[in-house]
Chains A and B, each alone.
Chain A
Amino acid sequence: MTTRTIDRSTDLSQALDKLGPDETLKYNSDYLRGHIASDLLDRITGGVTFASNKLMKFHGIYQQDDRDIRDERRRQKLEPALTFMVRVRLPGGVCTPEQWLKIDELAQTHGGNTIRLTTRQTFQFHWIVKEDIKPTIEGLHDVLLDTIAACGDDSRGVMATADPADSDIHAEVAELSKQLSDHVIPKTRAYHEIWYGEERVATSENEEPFYGKQYLPRKFKIGFVVPPSNDIDVYTQDLGFIAVTGPNGIEGFNVTIGGGMGRTDNEPTTYPRLADVVGFIPKDRLLACADAVMGVQRDYGNRVVRARARFKYTIDDKGLDFIKSEIEQRMGAPFESARPFDLTTNGDGFGWRQTDRGTWNYGLFIANGRVSDLPGRDIMTGLREIAKVLSGNLRLTPNQNLIIAGVTPEDKPQIEALLAKHGLAESDKTSSLRLNSIACVALPTCPLAMAEAERYLPDLITKIEAILEQNGLAQEPITIRMSGCPNGCSRPYVSEIALTGRAPGKYNLYLGGGFHGERLNSLYAENIGEERILEILSEKLSTYANERAPGERFGDFVTRMIDRERAA
């Protein structure tokens, strides 16, 4: 037997001065307090200092600016139009009508009258000015919501399949995602002191028994999936739990580790990675397993090079076998062999579906998760009216759509009437491509964006729809995802067609992701504009229409074609 020596030169065992600057910043932050409170009172700027900006991410808040007017303001000798994005923690994407109404009210008062449903099943407010952050967070607190760890080097919002066929399974998985989220968020009182104005209580206790002063090397994403749906794209999560169910509900989970979409532009050592299935755990070992996996990443993750700090690189650097055995040791039990499972799609269902409880769920398509009032489609007003009368709940899907759930047969006509009144009925009567599309927010607020996404993808899809129409593919479900930068918030690298921004109007085109997120796509063309994108897609789609095998998905077909081209 050979013992492999594990390189510890980049991890938590090293002194701070050997590690990247973020580690010192976190260490010296007094458990995420830093100077946030005093920066909030600084009237000279609408923003906060560099350090506070980093720390506020752990509180679910990002400083952004309106990039559309950045140059104009520079000429005016004004700082950028700084505002904040505030992201809610909403485990499993489930929210009560009361919570929805509060979110809606806060968006009207502080958030530019718009709400963004995200690819991780939560709400984002944009356009919040500095002095309105506190009232926003206090408002959320009124309905038992918070923004803890919605961003930052910690475990972010926990996802869960939005609409499994079995209602009891959904209830259970939603509850587990809430329990797990509560378990893995930072425990510092900094959040309560800064945002709720609570007094600091002197304590000798360790404020972060799990995380310590340096938290994780980078963000960490967890999700639950209930087969056959793979709506959360479990293979893109750092830690995934695939529910295994039996006659008495959830028996346990197949555990996946090491997925991640992000890559850094011009950093060839960064790449998207699909998660590995490492085995099965019984349900009662869930929290122990999460602790063990996160503990391994905390202790071994790369804290020198931030671009290489995600768990997926830790696994590739140290070896899957080592990581797995380290997890097992910490968990106090080995993984059992994985149970069979079958995932079929990462898309959502739309329209009415009667559940096993006799109530009705309505899948509402919301283009790119943007809730606002559009001409002929009063999404924001309509959902407000619906939330006022709904006795069930609302669920945000990982594809940025919404499920109006638990509608009683008696209430159904009323909900239907409200949907129709606000132009929301038949929201799914559009091409399958559009229904299976995701775009991230990108311009004008995201500081990382290099190109448009949310504001552009709908127009591009209209042009692709014409091509689909010509080829008789209008009802063929094909996934398309666009991100404004290579980081991949819209999970582009598992999409059948993906575009990631490189420069204004220029994208990298990826083709051939698996329809249910089981295969990464590959880079097909770099830095191309709309004309070239449409040319390529036109060619690929017409060949697909003519030459595909029965039932063959576009991603599978195009992968086969590309392999053939490259072999030739």
Chain B
Amino acid sequence: MKFLYEHHIVDIIRRFPVAGVEADSLLAGLRPLQPRLYSLASSQALVGNEAHLTVARVRYELHGTARGGVATTQIADRLEMGSTIPVYVQENPHFRLPADDVPIIMVGPGTGVAPFRAFLQEREARAAAGRSWLFFGERNFRSDFLYQVEWQEWLDEGVLSRLDVAFSRDASSKTYVQHRMREQSRNLFAWLEEGAHFYVCGDGKAMARDVHEALIGIVEHEGGRSREAAEDYIRNLAAEHRYQRDVY
């Protein structure tokens, strides 16, 4: 598995060339690419007949050559303005805004922030009264603060009540969203106690786990509960659909 993970088809062919296989027959033997799922970063209530995506170009190096993510570089580098691509909508009934007056806490580092932009657009369009709190993280404040001016405007207008940000590469000690959550643990627990819904979107490998751990810790510490009781508290949130995750 590790070998396959580290070698794309082209790498295998380069390494083990087979005489007599032409490009056409090779392609015929391959399965079509899988569709890529992106969270919508917009609400039709606000932007009308548009759908916004938040796409980070995937770039990396493998066996000494520069590689790009198939779909992300297709969208960002190769598609021309005005061209069309096949799309479909896959609904996610487990990642929805609550009633307008219910407070929401959103944790969305990197492109994980996409659905929360849609949430706030929706809440702006509906003039929803509920408070909202976003935790956002990226590498550098200067270059990677996705939708910075939109959050600033929403903060000014009150659509967004709080914003805490963590930029991991700006300081000597790496700071991530879970650190900002812990810094705000008292407030965060108070929001949960007041019925806030808690959303996480983004990287499912490290971030979602770290955020989950931080959440348990906050309930333990601020709620004066044992580890087990805190875990129960979080399980209960999930059961009430107040803890929703969209991780990948």
Contacts and interface: CB of A to CB of B under 8 A. Distances in A.
A44 B155 CA distance: 10
A81 interface: yes
B38 interface: no
A79 B148 contact: yes
A77 interface: yes
A44 B142 contact: no
A44 B151 contact: yes
B146 A46 contact: no
Contacts of B164: 43
Interface in A483-503: none
Contacts of A77: 146-150
Interface string A58-86: 00000000000000001001110100000
A81 B165 contact: no
A354 interface: no
A79 B148 CA distance: 7
Contacts of B141: 43, 46
A45 interface: yes
B152 interface: yes
A410 B64 CA distance: 59
Contacts of A78: 143, 145, 148-149
Interface in B132-163: 141-143, 145-152, 155, 163
Interface in A522-562: none
Contacts of B150: 77
A46 B142 CA distance: 8
Contacts of A81: 142
A557 to B, nearest CB: 52
Interface string A299-317: 0000000000000000000
A51 B150 CA distance: 21
A79 to B, nearest CB: 5
Contacts of B152: 44-45, 79
Interface SS of A by simple majority: loop
B147 A43 contact: no
Contact of B165 (A44, A74, A79): A44
A172 B164 CA distance: 54
B76 to A, nearest CB: 13
Nearest to A44: B163
Nearest to B141: A46
A57 B164 CA distance: 28
B182 to A, nearest CB: 16
Nearest to A130: B141
Interface string A84-107: 000000000000000000000000
Interface string B160-173: 00011100000000
Nearest to B175: A43
Interface string A190-214: 0000000000000000000000000
Contacts of A74: 149
Query: Which of B141, B150, B163 gathers most chain A CB within 10 Å?
Result: B141
A345 to B, nearest CB: 45
Contacts of A45: 152
B160 to A, nearest CB: 10
Contacts of B143: 78
A385 B149 CA distance: 44
Interface in B43-80: none
Nearest to A82: B142
Nearest to A43: B165
A372 B40 CA distance: 48
Query: Which of A44, A45, A81 gathers most chain B CB within 10 Å?
Result: A44
Contacts of B151: 44
B146 to A, nearest CB: 7
Nearest to B147: A77
Contacts of B165: 43-44
Nearest to B144: A78
B41 to A, nearest CB: 11
Contacts of B155: 44
Nearest to B165: A43
Nearest to B164: A43
Nearest to B150: A77
Contacts of B149: 74, 77-79
B121 to A, nearest CB: 13
Contacts of A79: 145, 148-149, 152
B5 to A, nearest CB: 33
Interface of B: 141-143, 145-152, 155, 163-165
16 contacts: A43-B164, A44-B148, A44-B151, A44-B152, A44-B155, A44-B165, A45-B152, A74-B149, A77-B146, A77-B147, A77-B148, A77-B149, A77-B150, A79-B148, A79-B149, A81-B142
Given A43-B164, A43-B165, A46-B141, 7 more contacts: A43-B141, A44-B148, A44-B163, A46-B142, A78-B143, A78-B149, A81-B142
Minimum-distance CB pairs A-B, first 3: A78-B148, A77-B147, A43-B165
